[in-house]
Chains A and B, each alone.
Chain A
Amino acid sequence: EVQLVESGGGLVKPGGSLRLSCGASGLTFSDAWMIWVRQAPGKGLEWVGRIKSKADGETTGYSAPVEGRFTISRDDSKNTLFLQMTSLETEDTGIYYCSTERAGAMDHWGQGTLVTVSS
């Protein structure tokens, strides 16, 4: 069974930084393409970005609101996905989910970690 567990969320001031982690088990993590999705309180889902496998170049892509501020990376030796967030804004507040990507969909999801950006 695939399990994804996010961690690293918390309260941070505007302009601050935070790094989220997503530990994976039950899959060959090195082969997986991974995605981050977020959800502001009471709002809908928003795609944040993705990273392909090393075999596919570890190519990353980001949504316009986070491009240049967020960086996705991975450590295949530790089966862990990361989301480095800098220059945080209040609009970045929300639950951050990691997921696996397969056949153009997000097929396994973690339980999410809450990020609150507030002074």
Chain B
Amino acid sequence: QSALTQPATVSGSPGQSITISCTGAYNDFAFYNYHNYVSWYQQHPGKAPKLMIYEISNRPSGVSPRFSGSRSGNTASLTISGLQAEDEADYYCSSYTTSSTYVFGTGTKVTVL
């Protein structure tokens, strides 16, 4: 199972919006039990990952509404609006596959200029 493809780096100035893409093959994004299980994680250096988005576009309780997710075909996207210094971190997408396994993306380092 190959990793999903993400850009290595994305940068933006404070207040701007940025979008991180996550591309895979058709069977990487399984439609399972009437759900699309695509999720996004934020990881600061030396810390554990944190769930930011699940089922393509849902935010867990406590996650800022500045984070939003979407999907078109074989590409999922994470958008961060109103970029803030604290958003500087690594971001990973993940999907549940038709093989009943999970696959992560290659990871994207977000830099706030």
Listed in ascending order, the chain A residues whose CB lies under 8 Å from chain B are 35, 37, 44-47, 50, 61-64, 97, 102-112
Contacts and interface: CB of A to CB of B under 8 A. Distances in A.
A97 B104 CA distance: 14
B49 interface: yes
Interface string B56-96: 00101000000000000000000000000000000010101
Contacts of B39: 104-106
B35 A109 contact: no
Interface residues of B, number: 29
A105 B48 contact: no
A108 B58 CA distance: 16
Contacts of B36: 104
B106 A107 contact: no
A35 B48 contact: no
Contacts of B96: 104
Given A45-B49, A47-B101, A106 B94 contact: yes
A111 B100 CA distance: 25
10 contacts: A35-B102, A44-B105, A44-B106, A45-B41, A46-B104, A47-B101, A63-B1, A103-B54, A104-B37, A109-B51
Contacts of A102: 54
Given A45-B107, A105-B37, 9 more contacts: A44-B104, A47-B104, A102-B54, A103-B54, A103-B58, A104-B37, A105-B39, A105-B54, A111-B48
